[in-house]
A and B are shown apart, each in its own frame.
Chain A
Amino acid sequence: GENVEQHPSTLSVQEGDSAVIKCTYSDSASNYFPWYKQELGKRPQLIIDIRSNVGEKKDQRIAVTLNKTAKHFSLHITETQPEDSAVYFCAARSWGGGGADGLTFGKGTHLIIQP
């Protein structure tokens, strides 16, 4: 099965600086890579995703890059703000062919934005 590694487990940055979270995956058949933001006690919220036919995707201050050859993908947040503080999870999903498959999540990164 798929195995997703995520680093770092905790990331503290100054407000206004950039934050980068990295993930690697093991299954070369994985073709969909979402990133979720989760605040304490709440549901994960999809913030950006990328499919394997694309190398980079950007949405305002958030961007994701994918390197299929190396099997890693990264989340980039620029101009960080206090409300960006949360736990971020990367995930990967293999297309089973018969329908939607569940996600394999990384262990999460606790992002702390220092004012």
Chain B
Amino acid sequence: GAVVSQHPSWVICKSGTSVKIECRSLDFQATTMFWYRQFPKQSLMLMATSNEGSKATYEQGVEKDKFLINHASLTLSTLTVTSAHPEDSSFYICSAPPGLTVLRDTQYFGPGTRLTVL
């Protein structure tokens, strides 16, 4: 199946700093990638849709100036959490559907990034 990687797998930072998370599709091209956030013992919540070559689409309630998304190539999307605060501590997971039209429903998830803001 399609492989999606994320880096880093975990990060600890001080309040007020910015953190960049990378999401890569390793064996397929992805014009669209999705960013989700998962708090402990909760479900996954869609934050934004990352579109290669255009602006990201953010879900209601997600601050676009705080969560900067850049989809610079067909295999890489980045999420930058700016001026991070302890309430931003969460598990951030990206996903991507493979490029083939018939399989575009299917989403493969990255391994996630555990962010802890002190």
Contact = CB atoms under 8 A, between A and B. Distances in A.
A and B, one complex?
A: yes
A43 B111 contact: yes
B49 interface: yes
A55 interface: no
A100 B46 contact: no
Nearest to A110: B41
Contact of B106 (A46, A101, A102): A46
Contact of B105 (A1, A51, A104): A51
The interface size bin for chain A is 20 to 34
B104 interface: yes
Contacts of A101: 49
Contacts of A103: 34, 44, 46, 95, 107
Nearest to A36: B109
B43 A42 contact: no
B105 A44 contact: no
A106 B107 CA distance: 16
B89 interface: no
Given A43-B93, A44-B93, A102 B109 contact: no
A35 B45 CA distance: 15
Contacts of A42: 111-112
Interface in B102-116: 104-112, 114
Given A43-B93, A99-B32, A101-B49, A89 B107 contact: no
A62 B60 CA distance: 34
Nearest to A31: B105
A43 B112 contact: yes
A90 to B, nearest CB: 10
B42 A107 contact: yes
Contacts of A49: 105-106
B105 A32 contact: yes
Interface of A: 1, 32, 34, 36, 41-46, 49, 51, 89, 93, 99-108
